[in-house]
Amino acid sequence: MDHGINASSTLYVLWFSNEDVQEILSDQQNDGAYALHHTSHGQSSLSETSTQPSLSVPSFQPPLPEPSTRSALPEPSTQQPLTLFSQPQEILTLYDEPPLSPLSAQEPIIILDEQDESVSQNQSPVSTHHLGGPVDEIDLQTILKKMVSKVDGRFCPTSNQINVCRDNVLLCSLRAFKRRFFNPEAKLDVVFVDEDDNGEGAVDEGGPTREYLRLLMRAVHQSNIFEGHEKDRQLSLDTQALQTKLYMWVAKMIAVCVVHGGVGPHFFSERLFHQICGIPTPPATVDEVGDHTFREQLIKIQEATTVREANSAIAEAADSLSIIGALRHVSSLEEKDSLVQSTADFFVNGRLATALDQFVEGLKTLGLLEELRKNPAVFYNMFVSEEIPLQAKDLCTLFDVDFSVQGSNRRDRENMTICFWRDWLIDIEEGECSPVTLEKVLEFTSGASTVPPLGFPHRPQIQFLHEGNRIFPEANTCILVLRLPLHSSYEAFKQYMMEGILQAPTFGLA
């Protein structure tokens, strides 16, 4: 329906909120421009105005009339059109009617948005990120893909070769990371060196790197720059680590583990995570004081019920309090509480400020810090929460199975072996095969103890060992292949699978 509009006409629809209309009303009371009136049927009509016109705005939005009751178009106003653009244009008024004669220039129709005010009153301001949920709907995989795109997987400089001894992963890593031309944005080349100083394998096609990143994060977790519970660790103060900037180097390693392998710490305290994300933290508590002796001294001061008892407890902790400048006599229980709080705050936060600065600097590697601060809720589980244990069904569905031809003798034995395999995974999950765990089975196969957030380069595969002399499982972590031995009974299969994995502290052939 063309409403009788000429092809050369230009249509402008102007939407005004209630706030806009009030502003126009205020302006027109002084300057005068046009008048707005409504008929008894709710239809807008334009009329001649006086020298000083006024703008009349209804307090409500009148309902639209039925088509049958709508009146004819009003006669064109003799008032000049309102000029809103640099060049005068023809402004048209439309009604939902059958085609009419071409419309002449009309005053602009102001359409009040009756929902505008109610929406603005109910709309809450945009809040900052919080751990209850991210503001932007974005997931960890999307962020990691963006960061991984910064890594050139085709380029592996000599400086990125990491020669690793499993009994000293952190020290070996420090030597590599401190090289002048070490490039975290290039591929890593990991070579494990056994006790005889022989490198395991010549080319790192992914398996050694996955195992290395897992071992590196474990070494970071156990390093002396952290203290506290195994699953709730915070930075500890080490003057030698400050001098050598170990906090920065360890944070760089964490960034490389996260981006190159999707391996997260899963041991940060909430306070440490908030600090690196720039989120305000609550006042420290006495329980967060890492030094056991000093913590007990502060608890004794805190639990004092009289001023005399408090000063006696303060005297017992005089050596520790004087070192941090908190030794003082109190004259009230309020002063006692203030002393305990300020001491806990300094011990947990203040004295670690320089260490935290170094740590944050290292997390800038590969853009990790920027993403952490933009999406803290997305990374929370990766840094703070404990890893979710694997289940038998996870490994059952992880692998493709390379079966022989259906109906062959080999296929029958392979079918039975897959039954053994799945039963064995269930036994492991139920704790019947200790100390073998599902994580160790995955480590044996891939070098990783969990499935990375971005998954493996390709789907792992199960193959079969039909040779009678190959009774133990074998694996190639680079191409992600697990080869299962064929045994006539479940008990034999279970025995040799457990022995093969437990006797293989390294990846690859059991």
First to last CA, the chain: 78
pLDDT score of 260 more than 70:
yes
For residue 220, name the pLDDT band (cuts at 50, 70, 90). very high
What single letter denotes the amino acid at residue 13?
A: V
- Alpha carbons 478 and 315: distance in angstroms, whole number: 62
CATH 3.90.1750.10 fits 140-281+356-383, yes or no: yes
Q: Answer whether 24's CB lies under 8 Å from 121's CB.
A: no
Which comes out higher in pLDDT, residue 133 or 21? 21
In tens, the pLDDT along 60-75 reads 444 444 444 444 444 4
Q: Comparing C-alpha atoms, which of 235, 237, 163, 149 is closest to residue 193?
A: 163
Q: Is 478 a catalytic residue?
A: yes
Span 342-354, pLDDT tens digits: 999 999 999 999 9
What's the pLDDT score for residue 26? 63
Over range 484-504, report the average pLDDT.
Answer: 94
Which helix H or strand E contains 443, and what residues bound it? Answer: helix 438-446
Query: Comparing 30 with 146, which gets the higher pLDDT?
Result: 146
Model pLDDT, residue 75: 47
For the chain, the C-alpha Rg in angstroms (whole number) is 36
Whether pLDDT at 78 is above 60: no
CB-side exposure of 82: number of CA atoms within 13 Å?
A: 17
What does the pLDDT average to over 458-478?
93
What is the average per-residue pLDDT within 114-143? 49
Task: Tell me the mean pLDDT in the region 234-262.
Answer: 97
Least confident of 57-71, 385-399, 468-482: 57-71
Q: What is the pLDDT of residue 206?
A: 78
Rounded-to-integer distance, Cα 46 and Cα 54, Å = 13
- The predicted pLDDT at position 21 comes to 59
Give the confidence band of 83 by pLDDT, cuts at 50, 70, 90. very low
pLDDT above 50 (res 160): yes
Q: Percent of the chain having pLDDT more than 70?
A: 70
- The pLDDT of residue 457 is above 60: yes
Cis amide leading into 62 (omega within 30) = no
For the cut 80, the answer to whether the pLDDT of residue 111 exceeds it is no
* Residue extent(s) of CATH 3.90.1750.10 domains in the chain: 140-281+356-383
Mean pLDDT, rounded, of the chain: 80
Is the confidence at residue 230, as pLDDT, over 80?
A: yes
**Per-residue pLDDT at 108 exceeds 80:** no
Please state the pTM of the whole predicted model. 0.68
- Across 47-57, average pLDDT: 42
Amino acid 155: pLDDT: 83
83-87, 378-382, 392-396: which range is least confident on average? 83-87
Q: How confident is the model at residue 278 (pLDDT cuts 50, 70, 90)?
A: very high
pLDDT at 12: 52
The predicted model gives 212-221 an average pLDDT of 96
- Quick check: 420 pLDDT over 80? yes
> What is the tens place of the pLDDT at every residue in 122-131?
333 333 334 5
Q: Per residue, what are the HEC states of 198-210?
A: CECCCCCCCHHHH
Mean pLDDT of all residues in 43-54? 41
Task: Average the pLDDT over 424-429 and give the result.
Answer: 97
Q: How far apart are CA 188 and CA 206, in angstroms?
A: 9
Reduced 3-state DSSP string for 286-314: HHHCCCHHHHHHHHHHHCCCCHHHHHHHH
Percent of the chain with pLDDT over 90: 61
436: pLDDT strictly greater than 90:
yes
CA 69, 71, 73, 74 torsion-angle sign: negative
Using left for φ > 0, alpha for ψ between -120 and 50, and beta otherwise, residue 266 falls in: left
String of DSSP letters for 206-262: SHHHHHHHHHHHHHHHTSTTEEEETTEEEE---HHHHHHTHHHHHHHHHHHHHHHH-
pLDDT at 404 over 60: yes
- Predicted confidence at residue 250, as pLDDT, reads 98
Query: Which pLDDT band holds residue 24 (cuts at 50, 70, 90)?
Result: low
- The residue with greater pLDDT, 248 or 85, is 248
pLDDT exceeds 50 at position 45: no
Architecture of domain 392-502: 2-Layer Sandwich (3.30)
Q: Looking at residues 38-42, what average pLDDT do you find?
A: 43
Residues 6 or more apart from 462 whose CB is under 8 A from it?
399, 400, 401, 402, 418, 421, 481, 482, 483, 484
Comparing 130-139, 140-149, 274-283, the range with the smallest average pLDDT is: 130-139
Domain(s) labelled CATH 3.30.2410.10 in the chain stretch across 392-502
Angle at 149 between CA 145 and CA 154, to 5 degrees: 130
- Residues 166-209 have pLDDT tens digits of 889 999 999 999 999 999 999 999 999 864 445 554 456 678 89
Q: Across residues 449-464, what is the average pLDDT?
A: 91
Q: d(Cα 163, Cα 175) in Å, to the nearest integer?
A: 9
Q: pLDDT value at position 356?
A: 98
- pLDDT of 154 reads 84
pLDDT > 70? residue 428? yes
pLDDT top residue among 310 and 101: 310
Query: Of 172, 257, 277, 478, which residue is the catalytic one?
Result: 478
For residue 236, is pLDDT > 80?
A: yes
